């Protein structure tokens, strides 16, 4: 991180040595691998103020595993409410639910959803997840190759999401296009347009569910009672729907793409997994650690000092898990998979906002990797081809050309 001489972009309470006149997304895009690019920040201060922390907004960036773990737990200082700009963009009075809600209401909302995302509940989904995987692979398995992102990674979580929601499967490509425009639109107008089109679609779906819930999850949400036995308001339900939409598509497609790139560029590791299928769950955890693509946002609730750094009420705080998961203090040799690691996983955050969908994400990633390794040998990026990515609020692979030999 380059030294800053001009700190006019930073508020008065930010120490000059912690002010960085840079864009986090641009910095993360400077190398062939955004995770390696971002991990350079581990050579600088553990906490700093960025001129452009996310979508042009300035704020604090936490760049150490230990500090990030601590901040996740301390929701009383680092609030999930008000950190993201989506609901302001939409002009609504509800929040993404439960991710942008603090306890105790966070706990009440989470109780509505938890029964459908426990390890046991996810186990019951395995057959459907595997069938989705098989259906997608059948479309290209005899062709000797594919673009993993377009042909598999994008539709795989999208179809799972649509089935959970009880929405038409032919909406897959439209939903993904909306999401890309929302998260990576080149103008504020493009992002707002996508956000509102998504909301219109989810609002229409809500009205349908009021008449006849399409899935057990929808039935549970529509019939839920919280606080003193009141039903969920429309805004609360839409907040849940929007959360499923954002979390179910973007992060899963990205992580499975990065994991497959890693496997395709390391033939020895690929052979090891084929020869030792019992190690696949550990390998999945390492893929989740190395390729956690998420950078969450928090809002400082009141003036206080965090590890010697003065923070002010309403300061934006960016919590890039992708940096913390490459911190060598927590994970020696952090850029390579080590199936003997003991440090607990931070890829799904921690504290009250531990990711609700982590068991489904882990199961989906395992099934995807297993399905490719069982069907194909020598999975690799063809000579003369290259992958492409973009690094914004999440790290996403845009294209990943693969080739293979068909196993008997």
- How confident is the model over 271-304, as pLDDT tens digits? 999 999 999 999 999 999 999 988 889 999 999 9
Tell me the C-alpha distance between 162 and 245, whole Å.
Answer: 9
**Segments making up each domain of the chain, as ranges:** 16-406
Measured distance CA(374)–CA(346) in Å, rounded: 29
In terms of phi and psi (left: phi > 0; alpha: psi -120 to 50; beta: otherwise), the region of 318 is beta
- Least confident segment among 2-16, 91-105, 126-140, 244-258: 2-16
User: Over the stretch 33-48, which tens digit does the pLDDT of each residue have?
Assistant: 999 999 999 999 999 9
Q: Is there a contact between 196 and 189 (Cβ–Cβ < 8 Å)?
A: no
Flag whether pLDDT at 407 surpasses 80.
no
Percent share of the chain, pLDDT over 90: 65
pTM of the model: 0.91
* Lowest mean pLDDT segment, chosen from 73-87, 143-157, 305-319: 73-87
Of 197 and 83, more confident: 197
Confidence class for position 263, pLDDT limits 50, 70, 90: very high
Choose among 65, 87, 95: nearest CA to 240.
95
User: What pLDDT sits at residue 388?
Assistant: 96
The pLDDT of 337-360, averaged and rounded, is 85
Residues linked to residue 396 through DSSP beta bridges, in sequence order: 390
pLDDT range class, residue 346, cuts 50, 70, 90: confident
Give the separation between CA 236 and CA 224, rounded to whole angstroms: 11
The Cα–Cα gap between 370 and 280 comes to 8
More confident residue, 257 or 177: 257
Instruction: State what percent of residues in the chain have pLDDT above 70.
Output: 96
Residue with tokens 């999850």, as numbered in its chain: 217
Per the prediction, the chain carries an average pLDDT of 91
Nearest CA among 405, 403, 406, 408 for reference residue 148:
403
> What are the pLDDT digits (tens) for 355-401?
888 888 899 999 999 999 999 999 999 999 999 999 987 899 999 99
The band of 71, judged by pLDDT with boundaries at 50, 70 and 90, is very high
Model confidence pLDDT, tens digit, residues 174-204: 887 887 787 777 788 888 898 899 999 999 9
Please, which pLDDT band fits residue 3 given cuts at 50, 70 and 90?
very low
Is the pLDDT score of 72 beyond 90? yes
Q: List, in sequence order, the alpha helices (H) in 96-231.
A: 105-113, 119-137, 148, 155-165, 172-184, 188-211, 216-222
Contact 222, 213 (CB under 8 A): yes
Domain 16-406 has CATH 3.40.50.410: no
Q: Is the model's pLDDT at 259 over the cut of 60?
A: yes
């Amino acid at each position: 991180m380059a030294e800053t001489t001009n700190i006019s972009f930073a508020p008065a309470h930010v120490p000059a040595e912690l002010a960085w006149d840079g864009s986090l997304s641009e910095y993360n895009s400077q190398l062939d691998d955004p995770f390696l690019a971002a991990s350079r920040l581990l050579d600088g201060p553990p906490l700093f103020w960025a001129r452009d922390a996310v979508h042009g907004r300035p704020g604090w960036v936490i760049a150490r595993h230990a500090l990030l773990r601590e901040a996740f737990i301390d929701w009383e200082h680092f609030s999930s409410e008000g950190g993201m700009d989506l609901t302001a963009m939409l002009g609504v009075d509800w929040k993404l639910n439960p991710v942008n809600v603090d306890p105790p209401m966070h706990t009440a909302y989470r109780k509505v959803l938890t029964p459908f995302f426990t390890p046991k509940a996810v186990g019951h989904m395995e057959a459907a997840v595997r069938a989705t995987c098989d259906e997608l692979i059948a479309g290209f398995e005899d062709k000797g190759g594919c673009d993993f992102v377009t042909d598999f990674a994008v539709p795989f979580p999208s179809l799972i999401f649509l089935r959970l929601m009880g929405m038409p499967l032919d909406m897959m490509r439209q939903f993904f296009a909306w999401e890309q425009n929302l998260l990576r639109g080149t103008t504020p107008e493009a992002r707002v347009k996508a956000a509102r089109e998504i909301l219109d679609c989810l609002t229409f779906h809500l009205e349908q569910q009021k008449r006849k819930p399409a899935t057990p999850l929808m039935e549970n949400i529509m019939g839920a009672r919280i606080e003193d036995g009141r039903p969920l308001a429309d805004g609360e339900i839409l907040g849940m729907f929007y959360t499923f939409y954002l979390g179910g598509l973007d992060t899963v497609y990205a992580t499975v793409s990065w994991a497959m790139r890693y496997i395709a560029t390391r033939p020895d590791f690929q052979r090891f997994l084929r020869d030792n299928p019992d190690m696949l769950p550990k390998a999945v955890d390492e893929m989740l650690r190395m390729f956690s693509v998420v950078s969450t946002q928090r809002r400082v609730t009141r003036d206080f000092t965090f590890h010697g750094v003065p923070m002010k009420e309403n300061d934006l705080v960016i919590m890039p898990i992708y940096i913390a998961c490459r911190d060598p203090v927590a994970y020696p040799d952090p850029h390579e998979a080590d199936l003997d690691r003991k440090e607990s996983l931070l890829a799904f955050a921690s504290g009250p906002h531990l990711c609700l969908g982590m068991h489904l994400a882990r199961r989906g990633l395992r099934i995807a990797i297993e399905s490719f390794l069982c069907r194909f040998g020598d999975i690799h990026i063809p000579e003369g081809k290259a992958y492409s990515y973009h690094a914004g609020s999440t790290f996403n692979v845009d294209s990943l050309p693969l080739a293979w030999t068909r196993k008997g």
